[in-house]
A = this chain, B = another copy of it.
């Protein structure tokens, strides 16, 4: 007997009550929602927070740009990737390029979008846009203008992989970004097109 399809439906938002509004940082809502089975849930908390970009930037020599920086969330100094909130009107790609330049003084020639992921499965809490930037090169001095001063740390790809499990990183987003970037860098190149493929696709 085929099972029912329990995961087909989204929750339907019937009503959103704004509980807290702190522009431009976050808004907290209590949502009344209807579940796919018809049940109703009142006051499920949802948080709108600013979306941000996180960048794994690697030079042609295989050097990866990290920051060593105090952050208030973990309340400790930890290894970070260049990252920051998107400015109003900015695309994730634009924000990623700007943050990389501001925080490290580097630009990069090849950008791969690794995806947008929710920092929280229940509340949402903005979106982390993760990027792999290859062909990175220094073009100016860093000038982040952040509240937290940061020291740039250059790691090899092997050291970047080791940093995943060393306890030096304190947040989910840079760990996810390092993991996805390394997986992408390791992925085999697309196969060459078969003989007789259309011109221009080779």
Task: Tell me which of A39-47, A55-63, A88-96, A98-106 binds B.
Answer: A39-47
Is B176 touching A121 in the complex (CB atoms < 8 A)? no
Chain B residues lying within 8 Å of A49, measured Cβ to Cβ, are 120, 123
Is B124 touching A172 in the complex (CB atoms < 8 A)? no
Task: Let me know if A167 is at the binding interface, CB within 8 A.
Answer: yes
Chain B residues lying within 8 Å of A25, measured Cβ to Cβ, are 45
21 contacts between A and B (CB under 8 A): A6-B149, A7-B69, A7-B149, A7-B151, A10-B75, A22-B30, A22-B45, A33-B72, A36-B70, A39-B147, A41-B147, A72-B121, A72-B124, A73-B120, A73-B121, A73-B124, A83-B121, A117-B171, A120-B171, A165-B183, A176-B179
Closest 10 CB pairs of A and B: A179-B179, A6-B149, A172-B172, A73-B124, A71-B121, A175-B176, A73-B121, A73-B118, A20-B20, A74-B118
